[in-house]
Amino acid sequence: MTPETTGKRAAARLTRAIALILLVALPSSVLRTSGSARAQGRAADTPVRGGILTQGFQNDLATLDPAIGYDWNNWPAEKMVFDGLLDYNQGTTLEPRLAASMPTVSKDGRTYTFTLRKGVLFQNGRELTSADVAYSINRVLDPKTKSPGSSFFLSIAGAQAMANGKAATASGIKVLSRYVIQFTLTQPDTTFLNVLAMNFAYIVPKEVVAKEGANFGHAPVGTGPFLLKQWIAGQKLVFVRNPHYFYEGLPYLDGVTFLIGLAPEVALLRLESGQLDMLADPIPAADFVSIKNNPKYAGDLVRYVQPETTYLTMNTQIAPFNNVKVRQAVNMAIDKTRVVQLSAGRGVVADQILPPLMPGYDPSYKGYAHDPAAAKKLLAQAGYPNGFSTQLYVLNVDPQPRIAESFQSDLAQIGIKVSIVPLASATLVDQAGTPKKAAMVWSGGEAWLQDFPDPSDFYGPILGCDSAVQGGWNWPFFCDKKLDAMAAHLKVMPDSAARYAGYKTLYSDVMAQAPWVPVINNVAYVMHSPQIHGNATDFTHNVHTFFYERLWKH
Amino acid sequence: MARLSMGVYIARRLLLAVGVIIGVSLITFILAYLVPADPARVYAGSNASAATVASIREQLGLNRPLPVQYLAYVGRALHGDFGTSYKLQTPVLSAIESRFPYTAALAGAGILVELLIGIPIGIISAARPRSWLDRGAMGFAMLGVSAPQFWLGLVLLYTFGYLWPIFPLGLAQSPSSIVLPAITVGLSGGVWYARVLRSAMLETLNADYVRTARAKGLGRLIVILRHALPNAITPIVTQLGLDMAYFLGGIVVVESVFGWPGVGQMAYQAIQNDDIPLIMGTVLFSAIIIVLINIFIDVLYAVLNPRVVHS
């Protein structure tokens, strides 16, 4: 390119920058008009068979292999193709699915015996047997499968030997007969049934996995209510009803189609013009307030408080955050209602570790009140009357940097000078999980979402000593041996009121140590067209998110 | 004699190209690993335990020394195996192969739009310099060059996909889906070509031999088309080649806005996810395309001007 043309291109770039600044000042609501007419008439409350649900996704699904998939994108889709021994009803109570009934449990709480339903067929026509269950769980435990969920099954006898490469199968998984399977654990584990209801424990047919190999995730075969008919990578997935599904009456829909590659703004336009039935991704922030306040959409938005907590961590291995008074002072300095505003109202203030829908949540626990004056006093008592300087790591996706600035201004009020370090997702996670690296981390965009509805899930992976290692998710590197022992004891306690009371004590003790500031629990809004019906919990199921088999179209 | 020199010239360029590709692969590989991110954690997801992530890291071969990993990669690549994407869980080569036709189609359509906009506007402006037509066209050109592609794409989608639904709202479900993304891709380049063509043609139109032709009585339009245009087209041909190479590498912004299932969108996601095999694959793919097209343009020049070969 000649210097002359380089100069011209530079001029064009400058003009482009100026135009961009002017154009961004134009609110998007000015561009929006009424759009096309909407279909009238809401159906009765009884489900109707038929219809195809079309949903828009920005990103392609990674895989439908239940042993590998581990994000909110593929879990609901895996639930379409596969089943597990157990499942959740519309709340958090387990019920039998592929199992004919709930298991019999031995007196010592270590042995679970399941009898399977008879006559359940895989989508290739073969009957499901207990050998398939044993195969599926052993497959997750095999290190060669590279399953991200293998650690959930380590309570099974022989599982650790498999993880260490010393055994080919787990001794604690026994096929007693064609339809009876038995699991023996190394010690009692109250969460074992929750684990068996996870996607990792969905049952796969051995011969199809052997034939497809690494491609099984793109050509899945299960026992579930829908078959995957077609997957054009990066474009669409087409699911159709499984005509031989064992569960009477389900699914209602004839099929589900995912359209991939839709930016949220474009997906919203498609929904409004009737070309889409449901959005998979959140409504874009710029449009959210006007959509929420528009009475036309009132019946098409389902709100739910997500089973997650977004928090600000303080690294207990980096001074002065090794001083509990400093951490408590930070807790008192943070203005959480402003963070809810910065999230466009899509959040509720969090005052404790557990989210509101989690069993064991303590509605009477109040946490640290917002009191900057008291915070400054406490900081002085801790030996920092003039504050100190520190760094805050944050995800570089809006609105997280703006929320970080809010914390920066809160902490400046009590004398703590914070410099913000915005990072891309993979880098943020790596740095936060590196010992003695990140003094403070805002987990916005990387918050802890439950694996299953049991309070133990919010201790081990993010507050336990075992996770305070390189690559772990315990970003405050918090390790209290007494609390670890309490948590281990509670995990194996039989399900009872005493267990949940124990968790209330555990988590209030954690809050007394203040490794975090719990800030908000995210609130999601699922938007769907008026033709799609279901209970609120079918659009926002606690575990499955979109519970496709229970939605219908009319 | 000329043919032998041409053959030597091409062979030399191809050899250099191999060196460039190797250099690109080495630099990309090192950079991807220098980024402080753990690919095993990206593979496993946020909720996996540290122990599980460590096991997966071992299984993916990420604990081996960097030179060993690089050589293993090159060895497999020479056999056509570019690894498996951590995030997409598909072989990198098949992921690129399935998406490349879409990028190629959009690149071609974008070039077409550039020419359809650039040449007529450039000719009209040069034919009537400083007229209202000329001023209007150059004003439009300035807007076209300045409009950010993300904004332009959304405005086109909103106007012609939603308000007056003549075209589909994104994706690649029908042949008409390519129109709006092609306009978004080609507009800024097209108006830039119009400006360049106008300048070059006005310069040529003031040359002595053109004045002579006009003095002999040749019509203005014929003079423009037969004399001015061919001389003015050279910088455009060069830029077209570079644009084609750039587009074929993947037009990330436009593909993302329209949900056009091309390579660019996939490459952007790969970088966000530190998906090393996919990053390597898409970068190498882009590099090869750009190098090959550059060789093609240079060979074209050498054919037109044999003195280049001997230099």
> What CATH number corresponds to the domain at position B170?
1.10.3720.10
Q: Which residues, including other chains, have CB under 8 Å from residue A410's CB and lie 6 or more apart?
A: A333, A334, A335, A372
Q: Residue B268's closest chain A neighbor by CA? A: A59
Residue pLDDT, tens place only, A435-480? 999 999 999 999 999 999 999 999 999 999 999 999 999 999 999 9
Closest by CA position to A213, among listed A68, A61, A77? A68
Contact A123, A222 (CB under 8 A): yes
Torsion angle, CA of A73/B268/A259/A27, rounded to 10 degrees? 100
Please give the residue range of the domain that contains residue B162. Answer: 100-259
**pLDDT-based confidence at residue B207 (cuts at 50, 70, 90):** confident
Which residues of chain B have a CB within 8 Å of the CB of A270? 169-170
Which residues of chain A have a CB within 8 Å of the CB of B157? 266, 269
β partners of residue A524: A304
Alpha-carbon span B274 to B34, nearest angstrom: 11
- The C-alpha of A11 sits at a distance from chain B's nearest C-alpha, in angstroms, of 9
Amino acid A126: pLDDT: 97
Q: What is the DSSP-derived secondary structure letter of residue A213?
A: G
CB-nearest to A473 from B35, B46, B155 is B46
Give 10-residue mean pLDDT values along chain A (554 residues). Answer: 51 54 46 37 71 94 93 92 92 91 95 97 97 98 94 95 94 97 95 95 97 94 97 95 93 97 93 94 89 91 93 97 97 97 94 93 94 96 96 94 97 97 92 96 93 94 95 96 96 89 96 97 94 91 90 94
CB-nearest to B145 from A16, A60, A147 is A16
Which residues of chain B have a CB within 8 Å of the CB of A397? none
Q: How many Cβ atoms from other residues are within 10 Å of residue B5's Cβ? A: 13
Mean pLDDT of chain A: 91
Amino acid B191: pLDDT: 86
Whole-structure pTM value: 0.87
Alpha-carbon span A166 to A161, nearest angstrom: 5
CB pair distance less than 8 Å for B146 and A260: no
CB pair distance less than 8 Å for A461 and B49: yes
Which residues of chain B have a CB within 8 Å of the CB of A422? none
Q: Residue A427's closest chain B neighbor by CA? A: B37
In a domain, B57, yes or no: no
Judged on CB neighbours under 10 Å (0-12, 13-18, 19+), A159 is buried
Which residue of A21, A60, A463 is the best one to mutate when testing the B interface, meaning the one whose CB has the most B CBs within 10 A?
Answer: A60
Amino acid A34: pLDDT: 38
Residue pLDDT, tens place only, A289-347? 899 999 999 889 999 999 999 999 999 999 999 999 999 999 999 999 999 999 989 99
Amino acid A342: pLDDT: 93
Mean pLDDT of chain B: 86
Using a CB–CB cutoff of 8 Å, tell me whether B45 touches chain A. Answer: yes
CB-nearest to A471 from B38, B87, B147 is B38
- The C-alpha of A16 sits at a distance from chain B's nearest C-alpha, in angstroms, of 4
In a domain, B130, yes or no: yes
CB pair distance less than 8 Å for A461 and B47: yes
CB-nearest to B165 from A259, A266, A273 is A273
Domain A12-220+528-553: CATH superfamily is Dipeptide-binding Protein; Domain 1 (3.90.76.10)
Which residues of chain B have a CB within 8 Å of the CB of A18? 146
Torsion angle, CA of A203/A208/A213/A215, rounded to 10 degrees? -90
CB-nearest to B274 from A235, A426, A433 is A426
How far CA A387 is from CA of A27, A206, A320, B116, B245, in Å, comes to 40, 61, 10, 64, 55
ipTM of the complex as predicted = 0.85
Alpha-carbon span A462 to A479, nearest angstrom: 10
Q: How many Cβ atoms from other residues are within 10 Å of residue B257's Cβ? A: 26
User: What value does the mean pLDDT take over residues B125-147?
Assistant: 82
CB-nearest to A62 from B87, B158, B196 is B87
**pLDDT-based confidence at residue B220 (cuts at 50, 70, 90):** confident
Alpha-carbon span A476 to A479, nearest angstrom: 9
Q: Residue A60's closest chain B neighbor by CA? A: B88
**CATH fit for domain A308-523, picks 2.40.50.180, 3.30.465.10, 1.10.600.10, 3.10.105.10:** 3.10.105.10
CB pair distance less than 8 Å for B48 and A8: no
CB pair distance less than 8 Å for A217 and B257: no
User: What are the DSSP calls for A304-365, one per residue?
Assistant: EE-SEEEEEEE-TTSTTTTSHHHHHHHHHH--HHHHHHHTTT-EEE--SSS-TTSTT--TT-
Amino acid A18: pLDDT: 54
Structure tokens at B76: 């497999």
CB pair distance less than 8 Å for A473 and B259: no
- The C-alpha of A298 sits at a distance from chain B's nearest C-alpha, in angstroms, of 22
CB pair distance less than 8 Å for B265 and A12: no
Scan residues 87-126 of B and list those with Cβ closer than 8 Å to A.
87-90, 95, 98-99
Domains A12-220+528-553 and A308-523 share a fold: no
CB pair distance less than 8 Å for A266 and B169: yes
DSSP strands (E only) in A159-283: 173-177, 180-184, 226-232, 236-241, 255-260, 278-279
Amino acid A494: pLDDT: 86
Using a CB–CB cutoff of 8 Å, tell me whether B167 touches chain A. Answer: no
Which residues of chain A have a CB within 8 Å of the CB of B257? 263, 266
Amino acid A10: pLDDT: 53
Map out the domains of chain A as residue ranges: 12-220+528-553, 308-523
In a domain, B51, yes or no: no
In a domain, B273, yes or no: no
How far CA A243 is from CA of A253, A256, B259, in Å, comes to 11, 14, 33
Alpha-carbon span B258 to B170, nearest angstrom: 4
β partners of residue A127: A121
Amino acid A489: pLDDT: 94
Q: Residue B48's closest chain A neighbor by CA? A: A148
What is the DSSP pairing of strand A104-105 with strand A173-177?
A: unpaired
Using DSSP's 3-state secondary structure scheme, residue A109 falls into: coil
Amino acid A25: pLDDT: 45
In a domain, B250, yes or no: yes
Which residues of chain A have a CB within 8 Å of the CB of B100? none
Q: Which helix (H) or strand (E) holds A388?
A: strand A388-395
In a domain, B63, yes or no: no
Coarse DSSP helix, strand, coil percentages of chain A, rounded to the nearest 5 percent: 35, 20, 45
CB pair distance less than 8 Å for B162 and A272: yes
Interface size, chain A vs chain B, as Cβ–Cβ contacts under 8 Å: 184
β partners of residue A306: none
